[in-house]
Amino acid sequence: MSATTEPRARRRRRPRPGGGGGARQVDYRTLRNPFPPVPAFSDDAAGQMHATALRVLEELGMKILLPEARALFRTAGARVDEASEMVWIGRDIVEAALATAPKSFTLRAGAKARDIVLELGRLAIQPGAGAPHATDLKRGRRPGRLEDFRELLMLTQHFDALHMLPPLVEPQDIPPHERHYAMTEAELTLSDKVPFVFSRGAGQVADCFEMIAGARGLGAEAFSKEPWCYTIVNTNSPRQIDIPMAMGLIDFARAGQMTIVTPFCLMGAMAPATVAGALTLSHAEALAAITLAQIAGPGAPVCYGAFASNVDMKSGAPAFGTPEQVQANLGAGQLARLVGLPWRSAAGCAANINDAQAAHETQMSAWGAILGGATVLLHGAGWIEGGLTVSYEKLITDMEMIQTFAELCTPPAEDAGAIAFEALQEVPPGGHFFGASHTMERYQAAFYEPLVADWSNFGTWSERGGLTASERATGIWEGILKGFTPPDALGDRRGWLESFIAKRRAEGGAAPES
Amino acid sequence: MSATTEPRARRRRRPRPGGGGGARQVDYRTLRNPFPPVPAFSDDAAGQMHATALRVLEELGMKILLPEARALFRTAGARVDEASEMVWIGRDIVEAALATAPKSFTLRAGAKARDIVLELGRLAIQPGAGAPHATDLKRGRRPGRLEDFRELLMLTQHFDALHMLPPLVEPQDIPPHERHYAMTEAELTLSDKVPFVFSRGAGQVADCFEMIAGARGLGAEAFSKEPWCYTIVNTNSPRQIDIPMAMGLIDFARAGQMTIVTPFCLMGAMAPATVAGALTLSHAEALAAITLAQIAGPGAPVCYGAFASNVDMKSGAPAFGTPEQVQANLGAGQLARLVGLPWRSAAGCAANINDAQAAHETQMSAWGAILGGATVLLHGAGWIEGGLTVSYEKLITDMEMIQTFAELCTPPAEDAGAIAFEALQEVPPGGHFFGASHTMERYQAAFYEPLVADWSNFGTWSERGGLTASERATGIWEGILKGFTPPDALGDRRGWLESFIAKRRAEGGAAPES
């Protein structure tokens, strides 16, 4: 089914595919955001925030810790002070960078059907990422291990409504100088979706590029013509880019690979205690990083990013799913549309367990991202404890929400058959539609079938053990892992990958930069 | 603070009140929906659905069980068949009714500050309603008692973001012929918000009107000039209006009181298995009921309503928070805007416990209602088991969502102080904003303070007992009930109310119609 890849106007006129008598068929692989973007600010104010961000870069400057990055900024005309590591970036430099950054590009996956187009209006979803811990109801909360990373990759591969692989948990049982081999190998062997690479220094990045290019059967030049992987660069808010992040921006841009630039601006902590102020800072930092990427590799694919929420002003604890995060997600979308780039937003939750708080916070922030017109929704499933843990059960219960969003990307049928005058004629007053021909033609495919929701009544649910959604989710992820068959994205290049990794390990691996 | 009562354009230019150094002040009493309505269907299709609904009323007709209602339809020019109790309503009759139905009116409460304006663009929220059972973690699940109804009214009174009183649970320990006295007395003595009256026959309705008029110090004529209470009329889908419902429509309209007309159309059960078909049926039934009200009392305040979701096609169980319900909520808003009336939508959940499923389903459907532009959001907090139970704990955890929606009704500040160039100048690269003057000026009032969310880290949360949101909610509702002080909305009319009820009880009360 390709309905979701068509322009909205055409799709609207068409009955839902699978609306006939057959079994329900859905395609969550290619999504377009069905909602018109909702602004948080007036257009004037969004323009002021953009202008203020340019002023911040020009007058206040950024601290750029990597000498090579400062040199690149200098060649582009920026004022640089080597002693303080400060760089002042004129608006003409930023504008030139925005002119070369592509507004639409295709992330290439291990299978054609997994390729992802990133541009405003599209929607790609990722599960929770970057957590030091994993947790599930069977084995408890523990520091992330390679086994956890691999299992969570399998769950990510399983769900079509998850489109890109993130670094779900940190495999801390693998030494840092070899961790990137294990992670990339897992991504390439367990999934055919777009892989992630950490920006932890030139050595690791070069290794990962070589593995991914080899796995896709590409030489270095063919690899650099399209983005086959991506990294995420977080600035050190306020107004600082550290060494590995700057290296990542440069290396990914030069290799034509995609960078998601995400300042993480917690209002009241690393950013002003206002939505507008935090977004202005975030915007300035995103523009600085995008500019560095475009100076290093003009035309390199970059994704604008924003991750702004607030802290609890009593404790300093980060909060998610708050009204302020929703407004920040909406406002960040306005700034992304001003620069015309695909953009990354996020869901989030600060809850410590997969309960009603976790679900409410996650969905509230996800709606902010969706209504903000985000192209990439990060942390859409499983993220808990403000990102310190990925929960297997929460990944499953959140997927109900994610699949509901994916369903909403296909508008309801609106043809005469759907409006159903004949069915209304067939059923008498006070009757029912269970056996109506209109229902019989549609019942197998009419509605979304839930993943984990239990719609049985209280008596039946109690007889079945009275399990919470989290408790039911355990059996679901166990079943997915048990039945998991990896895709054959590598073919006969698997042996090459294994020997490359063995060789590099023997050579001592590559230590991360810091 | 009155910012939320102003037109959107003006509010947008204004910094958030309380944005200065003082403690946080919020006003959740008067809300305007901050989101532009999102359509589910093309305008053409919505027009087709409206046209088809008119055709249903004209060609297929409605079964109207109350002879007086059929007589009213006949006087208005409808074709009536007494033998089959069928009424065929011409579109001219419907259009005349829509012309007299007011597009904006004020529901009068027990205190001026609790009055509610209903018109498209406004937002009034109610907790879960009509449940036979109540549940909480202290006392378990039980048939609703007067004590439960009274406690849930106190919780409803406590939260400013709940604007109207619904019949939260059915007090089954009070005999049916006296139940309306106990419920109305509780509403009038424990709250100053707009009370609800069941449409269970002319006798009970007359009693309630007399109690409410007396409690507000009004004679019958003054009472009938403005709506001081409301009822909810559910049609018996498909295409039938029963005796007590028709009586309620007539009695409320003649007394100038407000009726919310809500067909409950479960796709695949009482309605076609398509969103468009279910809404077309729902629309036809709502128009029929609104027409009856306007024939009985031209100009009577009515609220358009729709409550459409789907069933599980395998079991027939009702489902909520589904993609289909979200689309139905969006589509119902389109039909409500076609007729220009304030309209009632709802959240819902089929979960049997206050878990992640409950939260996800409730919030998903609530967003459908909010983005559909609903004027009244029913079942916004506490509704569980598809409406069979109101959960005290879920009422509290849902209130976090409701208060977040209420917060979102005030846009973020966007003045130069909020954009915060000076603050960005003050804090050096890599520094923090905790002690910045910009933060110090705002920290007390900057952010929403959570009701039940726990933002502490895993260690602290575990030390405090590792409680779920539901478990924490128990202490919150207990605290609210313990500290509850009823408003003095009755003054010296309390004695009158007590003697009226005593007299009517002595006279034998009023049995419900069926």
Q: Taking the CB of residue A59, how many other CB atoms lie within 10 A of it?
A: 11
A chain contacts of residue B325, beta-carbon cutoff 8 Å? none
* Closest chain B CA to residue A285: B429
Of A29, A10, A92, nearest to A287 (Cα)?
Answer: A92
Are A62 and A286 within 8 A, CB to CB?
Answer: no
Q: What is the pLDDT of residue A13?
A: 35
Question: How would you classify the pairing of strands A240-241 and B258-261?
Answer: unpaired
Dist. CA B450–CA A351, nearest whole Å: 12
**Domains in chain B, number:** 1
B38 assigned to some structural domain: no
Residue of A nearest to B417 (CA): A277
B508: left (phi over 0), alpha (psi -120 to 50) or beta: left
Per-block mean pLDDT, blocks of 10 residues, chain A (514 long): 35 37 80 97 98 98 98 98 98 98 98 98 98 98 98 98 98 98 98 98 97 97 98 96 97 98 94 97 98 98 96 92 98 98 98 98 98 98 98 98 97 96 96 93 91 97 98 98 96 96 98 91
Residue type, A147: E
Say how many residues make up chain A: 514
Residues from chain B that touch A316, judged by Cβ atoms under 8 A, are: 434
Residue B38: strand, helix, or coil? coil
* Nearest chain B CA: its distance from A120 CA (Å): 18
What is the Rg, in whole angstroms, of the alpha carbon atoms belonging to chain A?
24
Residue A138 resides in a domain: yes
The stretches of B65-145 forming alpha helices (DSSP H) are: 67-75, 91-100
Establish if A63 belongs to a structural domain: yes
Compute the nearest-CA separation of B170 from chain A (Å): 18
Please check whether residue A77 lies inside any domain of the structure: yes
Give the list of residues 6+ apart from residue B125 with CB closer than 8 angstroms, or none: B31, B161, B162, B163, B164, B376, B377, B380, B381, B402, B405, B406
CB atoms within 10 A of CB B180: 25
Average pLDDT, chain A: 94
The candidate with the shortest Cα–Cα distance to B324, out of B284, B393, B264, B274, is: B274
CB distance A323–B407 less than 8 Å?
Answer: yes
pLDDT in tens, A279-311: 999 999 999 999 999 999 999 999 999 999 999
Q: Which residue among A352, A411, A457 sits closest to B461, beta carbon to beta carbon?
A: A352
**Residue A280 located in a structural domain:** yes
pLDDT of residue B314: 86
| Digit-coded pLDDT (tens) for B476-495 | 999 999 999 999 999 999 99
Q: Can you list the residues of chain B whose pLDDT is less than 70? A: 1-22
Residue B11 pLDDT: 37
Chain B: give the shortest CA distance to residue A130, in Å: 17
Give strand pairing partners of B194.
B164
What are the start-end ranges of the H helices in A347-468? 356-371, 392-408, 416-419, 421-426, 437-442, 458-463
Q: Which domain holds residue A342?
A: 28-411+448-514
Question: What 3-state class would DSSP assign to A271?
Answer: strand
Residue of B nearest to A50 (CA): B419
Token reading at A381: 């499933």
Answer yes or no: do B433 and A353 touch at CB < 8 A: no
Beta strands in B9-104 (DSSP E): 31-32, 62-64, 79-81, 86-88
Are residues A433 and A442 in contact, defined by beta-carbon separation less than 8 angstroms? no
Tokens matching residue A183: 């992670």
Answer yes or no: do B12 and A42 touch at CB < 8 A: yes
- Residue B52 located in a structural domain: no
CATH label of the domain that carries residue B283: 3.20.20.480
The answer to whether position B474 is within a domain reads: no
Angle at Cα A452 formed by Cα A450 and Cα A456, nearest 5°?
80
A455 vs B contacts (CB less than 8 Å): 312, 315, 317-319, 350, 386
The verdict on residue B199 lying in a domain is: yes
B18 interaction partners in chain A (CB closer than 8 Å): none
Chain-chain contact of B60 with A419 (C-beta, under 8 angstroms): no
Of A41, A326, A388, the CB nearest to B408: A326
B113, two tokens: 């500050």
Out of B41, B351, B423, closest to residue A412 by CB: B41
Contacts of A470 in chain B (CB under 8 A): 355-356
pLDDT in tens, B345-359: 999 999 999 999 999
Confidence (pLDDT) at A22? 61
From chain A, the residues in CB contact with B385 under 8 A are 457-458
Residue of A357, A402, A403, A427 to mutate, interface with B, max B Cβ within 10 Å: A357
* pLDDT value at residue A26: 84
| Burial readout A155-169 (b: 16 or more C-beta within 10 A, e: otherwise) | bbbbbbbbbbbbbbb
